[in-house]
Amino acid sequence: MKKSIFTSLILLTAISLFAQGDPALTEVWDPVPRVVTPGQSSSDAPSDAIVLYNGKDLLHWMGLEGGDVKWKNENNILTVVPGTGDIKSKESFGDCQLHIEWRTPAEVSGSGQGRGNSGIFLMSRYELQVLDNYNNVTYSNGQAGSIYKQHMPQVNVCRPPGEWQTYDIIFTAPRFNDDGTLKSAARITVLQNGVLIQNNISLWGSTEYIGIAKYEKHADKLPLVLQNHGNKVSYRNIWIREL
Ligand code: MG
């Protein structure tokens, strides 16, 4: 009898502590987030990022089919050389945060998909479109900031041709079951020039030019690919954080 009174007292004390709202009960002290030093500006890589392009060397890149990158690397800018193919990162990535800056040619030529076309293929297969859509109309789900042929951007926040633009991307890789079926779709959030254009949307599958996108089981990590679409699109300040 005594024991049960004692237990009840402890229980009552605990309940009353909760009821009174003891702030310590909801404090988490361990674990502690690790320290990361941010860059001086949003262009600069934070301390835990891999700098994929620092404006100098192309140590992190190779041609899509192997061999050296044939794009122009000059004045801290990497520019597509038409006819030399796509390029890919030597390292592979899955879940990541990617910062990349791009610029379509100041001298405008072509229209629709033919004007300043390039693209960022996450895991070599999910394209975030790069295109000059400043007063240039094309299909909405193929314009700059679209997940090509899947999701149009929420807004068109393109700067004029010849001006630098930014993409800040948060990407969650798809997960697959052992039998090859999809466990969870890839997800992506994109800010273009600091403005939200894709909000944690779910991808339908690998980017397809013709037909409906679908998933095929692939590795947990794959290279990042930059597209050569025959237009002299430039890149700079590319950094990535594995998540
Ligand atoms: Mg493209």
For 74-114, how does the pLDDT look when each residue is reduced to its tens digit (9 = 90+)? 999 999 999 999 999 999 999 999 999 999 999 999 999 99
- Whose tokens are 């100098």? That residue is 56
Is the predicted pLDDT of residue 134 greater than 80, yes or no? yes
| Contact by Cβ (8 Å): 112, 166 | no
pTM score of the predicted model: 0.91
Contact 23, 29 (CB under 8 A): no
Q: Average pLDDT for residues 153-180, to the nearest whole number?
A: 98
Q: In angstroms, what is the span from residue 157 Cα to ligand 1's centroid?
A: 17
Residue 56: predicted pLDDT: 93
Task: State the distance from the centre of ligand 1 to the C-alpha of 113, rounded, in angstroms.
Answer: 8
CA of 181 to the centre of ligand 1 (A): 28
Centre of ligand 1 from the C-alpha of residue 42, in Å: 25
pLDDT tens for residues 138-150? 999 999 999 999 9
Q: How far, in Å, from the CA of 219 to the mean position of ligand 1?
A: 23
> Does the pLDDT of residue 151 top 50, yes or no?
yes
Whether the Cβ atoms of residue 71 and residue 49 lie closer than 8 Å to each other: no
Evaluate if residue 1 carries a pLDDT over 50.
no
Residue 117 and residue 177 in contact, taking contact as beta carbons nearer than 8 Å: no
Share of the chain above pLDDT 90, in %: 91
Give residue 19's pLDDT: 63
Q: Does 212 score more than 60 pLDDT?
A: yes
Q: Tell how far the Cα of 217 is from the centroid of ligand 1, in angstroms.
A: 23
CA of 88 to the centre of ligand 1 (A): 15
CB 208 within 8 A of CB 48: no
Any idea which fold 30-242 has?
A: Jelly Rolls (2.60.120)
From 16-25, 53-62, 185-194, 231-240, the region with the lowest mean pLDDT: 16-25
Ligand 1: centre distance to CA 45 (Å) = 25
